[in-house]
């Protein structure tokens, strides 16, 4: 994986310089090369296919706009993934704010607090999953990922799904490696609990 990324970076340097000169065909090459991985990151982050498609589009457009700001210090792929992670996070934040506002308008503070507690993903998960006739593990896992806070989600997605190194995670998320480690540990623990509840047995 790492080797692939490195080799890709070397290739990318030439292509990126072409892109910086406004060559859109060169950029198309990069889109084709990275869209799949970007879509997978976005999808595992937000849990919606349509949303993740939009996020990927936005991320590429944003990357093209800000290509001049990209310095060769980081790998282009890492830079792209950082964009997609940030856009996914922003969408989650927006959704969260929206949900919170809706609750506030519907109920008073005390009730909404109670609802929040009920809505606690880990405790609600079984009831949600009961409705799923076919206990598709894939769906359960994704739902459990969705139940995590986005700061846990991103480390889990980037490390356990995408296989980035601790160092890369530290660069992308701009957090120390120690923080990556502890967040990852807590993310895995939370996911374990969720899966146990959902599947009964691991």
Binding site for another protein (CB under 8 A): 22, 24, 27-28, 31-32, 35-36, 39-40, 43-44, 49, 53, 56-57, 60-61, 64-65, 137-138, 141-142, 145, 156, 160-161, 166, 181, 184-185, 188-189, 191-192, 195-196, 202
Our CB check for another protein shows the closer of 57 and 78 to be 57
- The pair of three-digit structure tokens given for residue 47, joined into one six-digit string: 């849990």
In the complex, the smallest distance separating the C-beta of residue 190 from another protein, rounded to whole angstroms, is 10
For residue 155, give the 3-state DSSP assignment. Answer: helix
Our CB check for another protein shows the closer of 33 and 103 to be 33
- The pair of three-digit structure tokens given for residue 143, joined into one six-digit string: 């739902």
Our CB check for another protein shows the closer of 24 and 90 to be 24
Query: Nearest 5 degrees, angle CA 31-CA 36-CA 39?
Result: 100
In the complex, the smallest distance separating the C-beta of residue 196 from another protein, rounded to whole angstroms, is 7
In 107-176, which ranges are continuous DSSP H helix?
Answer: 109-119, 121-130, 137-146, 150-156, 166-173
Our CB check for another protein shows the closer of 35 and 86 to be 35
Distance CA 121, CA 153 (A): 13
In the complex, the smallest distance separating the C-beta of residue 195 from another protein, rounded to whole angstroms, is 6
In the complex, the smallest distance separating the C-beta of residue 173 from another protein, rounded to whole angstroms, is 16
- The pair of three-digit structure tokens given for residue 182, joined into one six-digit string: 């502890």
Our CB check for another protein shows the closer of 106 and 126 to be 126
User: What residues contact 196, with CB distance under 8 A and at least 6 apart?
Assistant: 202
């Amino acid at each position: 994986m790492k080797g692939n990324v490195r080799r890709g970076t070397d290739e990318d340097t030439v292509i990126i310089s072409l892109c910086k000169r406004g060559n859109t065909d060169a950029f198309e090459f990069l889109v084709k090369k990275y869209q799949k991985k970007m879509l997978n990151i976005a999808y595992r982050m937000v849990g919606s296919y349509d949303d993740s498609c939009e996020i990927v589009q936005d991320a590429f457009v944003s990357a093209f706009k800000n290509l001049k700001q990209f310095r060769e210090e980081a790998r282009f792929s890492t830079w792209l993934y950082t964009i997609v992670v940030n856009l996914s996070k922003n969408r989650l934040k927006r959704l969260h704010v929206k949900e919170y506002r809706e609750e506030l308008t519907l109920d008073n503070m005390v009730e909404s607090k109670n609802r929040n507690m009920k809505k606690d993903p880990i405790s609600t998960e079984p009831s949600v999953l009961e409705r799923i006739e076919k206990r598709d593990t894939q769906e359960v896992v994704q739902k459990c990922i969705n139940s995590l806070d986005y700061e846990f989600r991103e480390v889990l997605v980037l490390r356990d799904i995408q296989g980035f190194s601790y160092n890369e995670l530290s660069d992308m998320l701009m957090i120390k490696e120690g923080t990556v480690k502890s967040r990852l540990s807590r993310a895995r623990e939370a996911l374990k609990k969720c899966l146990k509840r959902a599947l009964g047995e691991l």
